């Protein structure tokens, strides 16, 4: 058993657990977006940041991928954590201004406007890759993936065409934290374009 | 694994998603009372590592053999739970999830106590299902013996070479054992590939001469029986005798054939040819002199998807001609809609050889004349004429002749009007996804020689991997597959006709009245075949009809008078409900959702059971029409629903109490409308009045649909077959069929009701008494009784000058 503290509360954990899992087990809330229990954590959205303190020294880590250790001093609601959370939410607001889910989450943390410029007012996807992870790890296919690089990064099917690999199970739509997958889904599933011709009559 | 259920129920608080909305203490208290529940606890997050470790601990301590987690979407989470709990020998089927968050907590405005009541009903139903489960033991699949490579396709040789590399014995059917003969005829199916012929010859030699090989020269496949790992193939040898071979796996290598374009294209085989004829010409008399025009006519012959393939092979042939006869001229004429399928290097070669590519306007079909070809130029819209000495057209591509015959025998043809790609194949040993059938060659889908050779290699590599897995003991039979009880099966073959995965056959022999067997490595667990079996001989193990009935019954008994239930299919209704729950869309809380993998696997008797146990309404929510993931599960559900509707009418109840609906997971708002409209119409109807008479009718309804083999046979016979392109409700006249079927139902229903009267009280009864009991027309009752006497169900005698009837023992 590993013993450490979250927000001053003494908690116990087993090796291999993460800070987020331990906090949730003890009823301490940490907001997340790209985390889903069905798949491995990736630490993409940085919303689950918590502060680790040791004397006068402190650092911020993503709790969903930070393993527990003896004697950690974790703080989930300090000024520094609140501040970085607000920054993350502001950036998310700029990245996906059309997502009502993001807007609602931001409003919960008193973020209602963003100082960053938004490039696409209709964007709902924050490219966290949760959908692609679900497709790979749960469904066992890779019908969708993160394609392109840098600012052009987006979720899509191979060659941006409906693909036969997709079995239209909708797991990606169900997990999507921003509701973006609903729009993308129809461009992934669907009949592949090859129309097939006749077999000869028997 | 004990059959006695000891179920552990784990309720998830899920942060603020479940706990504040549902009174979990109340729910836990109610569930503890239930039969079969050995453990019940509320946890913070059963899905995270701490939760799973806790579940593992409790399961081991209390020897639990069933687990139900009440939390969120089982579609997403079950996989993780099954993987994590596997060391405890808890397998697929023994772990279930109920989506309290998405189906109860977030979708209505009920107070936490009411939601706990609703959750309790759903949970008790799940527990009852677990009690009825007889888990199968984990079976290892054994695959050994030689691999049979059939079909005479060119992909057979790379497949053979790959198997030889893995030191697996194989039987190979070949038209000839001389590699030169084989390479000399390859242009019949793959023209324009002369560049690869040297390499191909090497592969063919390797495949033919390896010590692992047994060659069957000139053998023709006649019959296939058995299952994966234990196939028996019957061949006719060149002397006309029948020979039988055993094989552990089959690789089918089939190539598509070429047909001639229609008369409008002026094909004569001498000057106007298809590519295979041109290549034969080159082989016989060298490269042609003069102007050779390759017209990529795929758009005009109605197969535009193969234009690029035709153009590429034609171009390769053109290159060969230019290289062999530098004075000849080569022109490629193509429809403007096609993209020129050449790589940068090929374009450079094209420039060096000066081969002309000419696009033409798609609006006008080029016209063939003697020595000329008229086409409309794209840039100036002037009609030009190309002069030709030889004209080469695109061929019609099709699967025909021997290849089609072999495909039929192997069960690779399930739907007409298609190439063989994309279908569940008999020769597919594991559920590995649609594309990875163990079929290689252009009959799968027209492709180049390179692709075909790669497919052959891949098929063999996969087979070798499977052999290796089997030898290691790591190859398992899937959990949810059909099994046949040979004692009950009469060999009617309904299931085999309905099965789209090709998993049902007979152990040995041609078919007929022999009991069926299921190849578990091919079965996809769709289960409509099991639901169609007139004798309940076919059972979907770990997901059986008995389990479903237990779940339905437990829920129906607990439903309130204006509440109804709905089966939601795992590909349409359930994801739509999950998405609606995720978005917290509100709908009528009086509907209770039960997830099923496919609505097609719901036996009509499970539907009848709901009404028998007191449900007021039953809805089945499947995928959108024609998008069923298990081929025609949805249409089969329609036929079963319609039967129950007819029977409800016969009982004098409202037909609208059962209905089929369609949902798309991406349109949760439509799903909400469906739920609201059905629930309201049922609530407006009110429950079926509780009376002894009504209960007798409902019992008769259930007894009829569960046990009456005549009705069950008729129902199965009317279901849509995998080869039916369009389904109009029946194969014959729709109205005639419906009337006949209704008549049979009425007849059998009355018999069933009379039988129940006989069974309930000791006879003898006279006609008046019986008529009084069933409240039907006396004449009909008399006819029905006479039928029953004739079929030997009841006994007829005279007592005090009056006819009386008693039940025969």
Q: How many angstroms from the chain centroid is the CA of residue B750?
A: 37
Q: What are phi and psi of B648, to 5 degrees?
A: -60, -40
Which chain B residue has the Cα nearest residue A12? B50
- Beta carbons of A197 and B398 less than 8 Å apart: yes
In chain A, the residue whose alpha carbon lies closest to the alpha carbon of B665 is A170
Alpha-carbon distance values, B491 to B227, B228, B506, B549, B602 (Å): 17, 21, 9, 25, 22
- CA gap B121, A164 in Å, rounded: 39
Q: Positive or negative, the Cα torsion across B48, B54, B56, B62?
A: negative
CB contact under 8 A, B419 and A164: no
Q: Cβ neighbours of residue B798 under 8 Å, at least 6 residues apart?
A: B804
Per-residue pLDDT, averaged over B389-410, amounts to: 90
- From the list B50, B257, B417, the residue facing A198 with the nearest CB is B417
pLDDT at B385 over 60: yes
State the pLDDT at residue B478: 83
Question: If we measure between CA atoms, which residue out of B258, B264, B261 comes closest to residue B279?
Answer: B258
Helices of type H across B568-654: 573-582, 604-612, 633-651
- Which chain A residue shows the shortest CA-CA distance from B420? A199
In this prediction, residue B415 carries a pLDDT of: 59
Whether omega before B497 lies within 30 degrees of 0, making that bond cis, reads no
Nearest-CA distance from A56 to chain B in Å? Answer: 31
pLDDT-derived band at B421, boundaries 50, 70, 90:
low
Q: Is A25 on the interface with B (CB under 8 A)?
A: yes
CA of A49 to nearest chain B CA: how many angstroms apart?
18
E strand residue ranges, chain A:
2-6, 9-13, 49-54, 57-62, 73-75, 145-147, 154-156
Q: How far is CA B393 from CA B294, B301, B330, B618, in A?
A: 6, 10, 13, 59
CATH number at B492 reads: 3.30.70.20
Residue B747 has pLDDT above 80, yes or no: yes
In a domain, B787, yes or no: yes
In this predicted structure, the answer to whether residue B157 has a pLDDT above a threshold of 70 is yes
Is residue B220 one of the residues assigned to a domain?
yes
Tokens representing residue B683 in the block: 């609530």
Q: Would you call A21 and B49 a contact, using CB atoms and an 8 Å cutoff?
A: yes
What's the confidence (pLDDT) of residue A125? 94
Rounded distance between C-alpha atoms, residue B742 and residue B752, angstroms: 15
CB contact under 8 A, A37 and B435: no
CB A193 to CB B305 under 8 A? yes
Q: What is the pLDDT of residue B1?
A: 47
Task: Specify if B434 maps to a domain.
Answer: yes
**Using the beta-carbon criterion (under 8 Å), do B45 and A164 form an inter-chain contact?**
no
How many whole angstroms separate alpha carbon B601 and alpha carbon A200? 33
Chain A: residue whose CA lies nearest to B422: A164
- Digit-coded pLDDT (tens) for B530-573: 999 999 999 999 999 999 999 999 999 999 999 999 999 998 99
pLDDT in tens, B191-230: 999 989 999 999 999 999 999 999 999 999 998 888 888 8
Asked whether residue B428 carries a pLDDT value surpassing 50, the answer given is: no
CA distances from A86 to A41, A116, B574, B788 (A): 22, 12, 36, 80
CATH of the domain at B424: 3.50.50.60
**How deeply is A48 buried, as exposed, middle or buried, from its count of CB atoms within 10 A (0-12, 13-18, 19+)?**
buried
- CA nearest to B713, candidates B643, B610, B622: B643
* Domain identity same for B308 and B409: no
In chain B, residues with a C-beta closer than 8 Å to the C-beta of A23 are none
CB spacing of A173 vs B575 below 8 angstroms: yes
Residue A145, beta-bridge partner list: A156
What is the number of H-type helices and E-type strands within chain B? 25, 33
The answer to whether residue A65 neighbours chain B at the CB level (below 8 Å) is no
Closest CB to A199 among B73, B418, B582: B418
Nearest CA in chain A to B399: A199
Among residues B472, B502, B526, which one ends one of the domains? B472
Mean pLDDT (chain B, rounded): 90
Of B472, B500, B532, the one marking the end of a domain is B472
Q: Given CB atoms, is A17 within the 8 Å cutoff of chain B?
A: yes
- Establish if B361 belongs to a structural domain: yes
pLDDT over 50 (residue B452): yes
Report if residue B168 sits inside a domain: yes
Q: Which residues on chain B are in Cβ contact (under 8 Å) with A164?
A: 422, 434-435
Please compute, for residue B471, the number of CA atoms within 13 A of its CA located in the half-sphere on the CB side: 10
- Report helix, strand or coil for A100: helix
Clarify whether residues B205 and B232 are in a common domain.
yes
The residue of chain A nearest to residue B45, with distances taken between CA atoms, is: A25
Let me know: does B323 contact B353? Beta carbons within 8 Å.
Answer: yes
Is pLDDT of B46 > 70?
Answer: yes
Per-residue pLDDT of B286-324, as tens digits, reads: 999 999 999 999 999 988 889 999 999 999 999 999 999
DSSP, collapsed to helix, strand or coil, labels residue B45 as coil
Residues B109 and B153 grouped into a single domain: no
Interface test with B, best of A174, A183, A187 (most B CBs within 10 A): A174
How confident is the model at residue B462, as a pLDDT?
84
All residues of chain A having their beta carbon less than 8 Å from the beta carbon of residue B45 are 21, 24-25, 37
Shared domain for B203 and B303, answered yes or no, is no
**Contact criterion met (CB < 8 Å) for B49 and A18:** yes
What are the beta bridge partners of residue B566? B593, B619
- Is there a contact between A193 and B627 if contact means CB atoms under 8 Å apart? no
pLDDT of residue B148: 93
User: A168 and B400 in contact by Cβ < 8 A?
Assistant: no
Q: At what angle do helices B545-558 and B112-131 cross, to 10 degrees?
A: 150
* Tokens 């002397």, located at residue: B239
How far apart CA B93 and CA B91 sit, in angstroms, is: 6
Kindly give, in sequence order, each residue whose CB lies less than 8 Å from that of residue B169, ignoring residues fewer than 6 positions away: B145, B146, B147, B163, B212, B213, B214
Nearest residue, CB atoms, B76 vs list A17, A25, A171: A171
What pLDDT, on the 0 to 100 scale, is given for residue B625?
81
Q: Is residue B177 part of a domain?
A: yes
Which has the closest alpha carbon to B245: B262, B223, B212?
A: B223
Q: Does a structural domain hold residue B120?
A: yes
Chain B partners of A22 at a C-beta cutoff of 8 Å?
50
Mean pLDDT value across residues B599-626:
94
How close B753 gets to chain A, by Cα (Å)? 44
pLDDT tens track for B325-341:
999 999 999 999 999 99
Binary contact (B666, A186; C-beta < 8 A): yes
Residues 6+ apart with CB under 8 A from A152: none
Q: What is the pLDDT of residue B414?
A: 60
Q: Which fold has domain A130-185?
A: Alpha-Beta Plaits (3.30.70)
Query: DSSP string of B490-538?
Result: ----HHHHH-SS--EEESSSS-TTSPEEE-TTT-----HHHHH-TTS-E
**Which of B50, B434, B575 shows the shortest C-beta gap to A170?**
B575
Q: Tell me how close the Cα of A53 comes to any Cα of chain B, in angstroms.
A: 24
Closest by Cα among B235, B252, B253 to B244: B235
How would you write the pLDDT of chain A (202 residues) with one tens digit per residue?
Answer: 899 999 999 999 999 999 999 999 999 999 999 999 999 999 999 999 999 998 889 999 999 999 999 999 999 999 999 999 999 999 999 999 999 999 999 999 999 999 999 988 999 999 999 999 999 998 888 889 999 988 889 999 888 888 877 888 899 999 999 999 999 998 888 664 433 333 333 3
Is the Cβ of A151 closer than 8 Å to some Cβ of chain B? no
Q: Is A170 an interface residue toward B (CB < 8 Å)?
A: yes
Confidence of residue B103 (pLDDT cuts 50, 70, 90): very high
β-pair type (B482-484, B538-540): antiparallel
Number of C-beta neighbours around residue A82 at 10 A? 15
Domain positions in chain A are: 2-77, 79-121, 130-185
Given a contact cutoff of 8 angstroms between Cβ atoms, the answer to whether B547 and B540 are in contact is: no
Shared domain check, B266 and B379: yes
CATH number, domain at B807? Answer: 1.10.10.10
User: What number is the ipTM of this complex?
Assistant: 0.92
Contacts of B408 in chain A (CB under 8 A): 202
CATH class of the domain at A2-77: alpha beta
Lowest-confidence pick of A71-85, B411-425, B614-628: B411-425
Separation between Cα atoms, residue A178 and residue A124, nearest integer Å: 6
Do B293 and B182 lie in a common domain? no
Q: Do B79 and A182 touch (CB under 8 A)?
A: no
User: What does the alpha-carbon distance between residue B298 and residue B316 come to, in Å, rounded to a whole number?
Assistant: 17
Nearest chain B residue (CA) to A193: B305
Give the pLDDT of residue B729: 56
Between B91 and B522, where is the model more confident?
Answer: B91
| pLDDT for residue B511 | 67
| Contact: A170, B435; criterion CB under 8 Å | no
Judge: A24–B48 Cβ closer than 8 Å, yes or no.
yes
Rounded to whole angstroms, the Cα distance separating B526 from B482 reads 9
Mark which of B77, B109, B135 sits at the end of a domain.
Answer: B135
Contact B80 A37 (CB under 8 A): yes
Cβ distance A200 to B445 less than 8 Å, yes or no, reads no
Share of chain B above pLDDT 90, in %: 68
Contacts of B44 in chain A (CB under 8 A): 24-27
Interface contact A26-B416, CB threshold 8 A: no
Share of chain B above pLDDT 70, in %: 96
Same domain, B391 and B269: yes
Q: In 10 A of CB B244, how many CB atoms?
A: 12
pLDDT higher than 70, residue B424 = no
> Which residues does chain B have within 8 Å of residue A25's beta carbon, measured at their own beta carbons?
44-45, 48, 50-51
Least confident range from B90-99, B361-370, B717-726: namely B717-726
Q: Which of A24, A141, A199 sits opposite B417 (nearest CB)?
A: A199
Measured between beta carbons, the chain A residues lying within 8 angstroms of B416 are 198-199
| Domain ranges, residue B60 | 1-135
A193/B45 Cβ within 8 A: no
What is d(CA A148, CA A125) in angstroms, rounded to the nearest whole number?
Answer: 14
Residues B275 and B250 in one domain: no
- Separation CA A194–CA B19 (nearest Å): 49
> Looking at the complex, does the CB of residue A164 fall below 8 Å from at least one CB of chain B?
yes
Number of structural domains in chain B: 5
Interface probe for B, chosen from A195, A199, A201, A202 (most Cβ of B below 10 Å), is A199
Q: Pull the structure tokens for residue B234.
A: 């019957």
d(CA B435, CA B448): 17
Q: Same domain, yes or no, for B3 and B14?
A: yes
Q: Where are the beta strands (DSSP E) in B92-161?
A: 95-98, 147-150
Collect all residues of chain A within an 8 Å Cβ-Cβ radius of residue B575.
169-171, 173-174
User: A158 to chain B: which residues are within 8 Å by CB?
Assistant: none
Domain membership of residue B352 (yes or no) is: yes
Rounded to 10°, the helix B709-717/B633-651 angle is 140
pLDDT of residue B732: 67
Chain B contact for A2 (CB, 8 A cutoff):
no
């Amino acid at each position: 058993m590993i013993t450490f503290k979250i927000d001053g509360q003494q908690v116990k954990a087993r090796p291999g657990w993460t800070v987020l899992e331990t906090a949730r087990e003890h009823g301490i809330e940490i907001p997340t977006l790209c985390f889903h229990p069905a798949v491995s954590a990736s630490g993409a959205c940085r919303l689950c940041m918590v502060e680790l303190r040791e004397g006068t020294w402190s650092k911020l880590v993503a709790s969903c991928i930070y393993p527990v250790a003896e004697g950690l001093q974790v703080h989930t609601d300090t000024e520094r954590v609140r501040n970085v959370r607000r920054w993350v939410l502001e950036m998310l607001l700029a990245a996906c201004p059309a997502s009502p889910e993001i807007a609602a989450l931001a409003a919960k943390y008193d973020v209602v406007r963003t100082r960053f410029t938004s490039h696409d007012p209709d964007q709902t996807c924050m490219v966290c890759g949760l959908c692609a992870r679900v497709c790979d790890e749960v469904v066992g296919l890779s019908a969708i993936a993160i394609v392109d690089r840098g600012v052009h990064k987006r979720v899509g099917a191979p060659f941006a065409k409906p693909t036969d690999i997709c079995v239209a199970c909708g797991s990606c739509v169900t997990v999507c934290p921003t509701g973006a997958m609903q729009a993308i889904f129809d461009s992934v599933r669907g009949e592949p374009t090859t129309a097939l011709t006749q077999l000869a009559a028997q | 694994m004990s059959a006695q259920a000891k179920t552990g129920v784990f309720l998830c608080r899920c942060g603020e998603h479940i706990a504040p909305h549902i009174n979990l203490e109340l729910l836990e208290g109610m569930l503890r009372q239930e039969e079969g529940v050995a453990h019940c606890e509320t946890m913070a997050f059963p899905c995270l590592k701490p939760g799973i470790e806790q579940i593992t601990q409790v399961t081991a301590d209390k020897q639990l053999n069933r687990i139900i987690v009440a939390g969120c979407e089982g579609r997403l989470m079950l996989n993780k739970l099954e993987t994590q709990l596997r060391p405890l020998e808890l397998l697929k089927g023994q772990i279930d999830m109920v989506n309290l968050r998405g189906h109860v907590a977030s979708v209505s405005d009920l107070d936490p106590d009411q939601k706990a009541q609703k959750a309790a009903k759903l949970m008790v139903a799940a527990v009852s299902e677990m009690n009825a489960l007889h888990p199968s033991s984990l079976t290892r699949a054994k695959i050994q013996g030689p691999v049979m490579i059939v079909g005479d396709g060119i992909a057979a040789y790379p497949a053979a070479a790959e198997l030889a590399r893995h030191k697996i014995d194989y039987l190979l059917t070949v038209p000839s054992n001389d590699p030169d003969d084989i390479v000399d005829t390859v242009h019949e199916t793959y023209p324009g590939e002369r560049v690869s012929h040297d390499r191909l010859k090497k592969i063919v030699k390797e495949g033919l001469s390896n010590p692992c090989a047994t060659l069957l020269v000139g053998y023709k496949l006649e019959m296939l029986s058995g299952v994966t790992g234990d196939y028996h193939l019957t061949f006719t040898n060149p002397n006309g005798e029948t020979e039988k071979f055993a094989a552990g796996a089959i690789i089918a290598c089939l190539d598509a054939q070429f047909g001639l374009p229609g008369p409008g294209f002026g094909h004569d085989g001498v000057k106007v040819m298809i590519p295979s004829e041109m290549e034969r010409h080159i082989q016989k008399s060298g490269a042609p002199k003069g102007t050779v025009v390759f017209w990529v006519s795929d758009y005009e012959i109605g197969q535009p998807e193969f234009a690029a393939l035709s153009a590429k092979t034609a171009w390769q042939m053109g290159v060969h001609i230019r290289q062999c006869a530098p004075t000849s001229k080569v022109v490629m004429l193509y429809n403007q809609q096609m993209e020129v399928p050449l790589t940068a290097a090929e374009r450079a070669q094209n420039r060096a050889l000066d081969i002309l590519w000419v696009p033409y306007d798609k609006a006008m079909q080029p016209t063939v004349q003697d020595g000329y070809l008229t086409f409309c130029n794209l840039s100036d819209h002037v009609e030009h004429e190309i002069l030709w000495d030889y004209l080469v057209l695109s061929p019609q591509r099709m699967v025909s002749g021997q290849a089609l015959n072999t495909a039929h025998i192997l069960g690779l043809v399930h739907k007409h009007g298609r190439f063989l790609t994309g279908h569940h194949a008999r020769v597919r040993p594991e559920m590995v996804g649609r594309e990875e059938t163990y079929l290689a060659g252009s009959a799968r889908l027209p492709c180049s020689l390179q692709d075909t050779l790669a497919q052959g290699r891949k098929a063999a590599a996969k087979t070798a991997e499977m052999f290796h897995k089997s030898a290691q003991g790591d190859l398992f039979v899937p959990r949810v597959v059909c099994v046949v009880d040979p004692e009950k099966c009469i060999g009617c073959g309904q299931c085999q006709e309905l099965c789209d995965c090709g998993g049902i056959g007979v152990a040995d022999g041609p078919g007929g009245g022999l009991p069926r067997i299921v190849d578990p490595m091919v079965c996809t667990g769709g289960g409509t075949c099991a639901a169609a079996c007139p004798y309940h001989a076919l059972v979907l193990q770990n997901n059986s009809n008995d389990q479903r009935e237990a779940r339905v019954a437990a829920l129906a008994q607990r439903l309130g008078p204006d509440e109804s239930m709905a089966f939601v299919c795992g590909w349409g209704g359930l994801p739509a409900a999950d998405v609606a729950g995720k978005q917290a869309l509100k709908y009528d809380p009086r509907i209770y959702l039960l997830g099923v993998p496919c609505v097609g696997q719901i036996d009509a008797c499970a539907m009848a059971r709901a009404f028998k146990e007191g449900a007021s309404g039953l809805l089945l929510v499947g995928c959108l029409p024609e998008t069923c993931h298990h081929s025609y599960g949805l249409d089969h559900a329609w036929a079963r629903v319609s039967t129950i509707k007819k029977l409800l009418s016969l009982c004098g109840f409202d037909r609208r109490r059962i209905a089929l609906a369609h949902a798309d997971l991406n349109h949760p708002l439509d799903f909400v409308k469906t739920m609201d409209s059905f629930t309201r119409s049922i609530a407006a109807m009110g429950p079926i009045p509780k009376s002894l008479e009504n209960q007798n009718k409902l019992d008769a309804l259930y007894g009829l649909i569960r046990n009456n083999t005549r009705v069950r046979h008729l129902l199965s016979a009317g279901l849509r077959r995998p080869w039916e392109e369009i389904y109009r409700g029946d194969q014959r006249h729709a109205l005639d069929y419906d009337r006949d079927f209704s008549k049979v139902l009425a007849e059998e229903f009355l018999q069933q009701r009379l039988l129940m009267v006989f069974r309930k009280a000791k006879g003898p009864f006279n006609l008046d008494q019986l008529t009084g009991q069933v409240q039907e027309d006396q004449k009909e009752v008399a006819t029905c009784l006479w039928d029953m006497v004739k079929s030997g169900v009841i006994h007829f005698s005279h007592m005090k000058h009056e006819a009386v009837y008693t039940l025969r023992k």
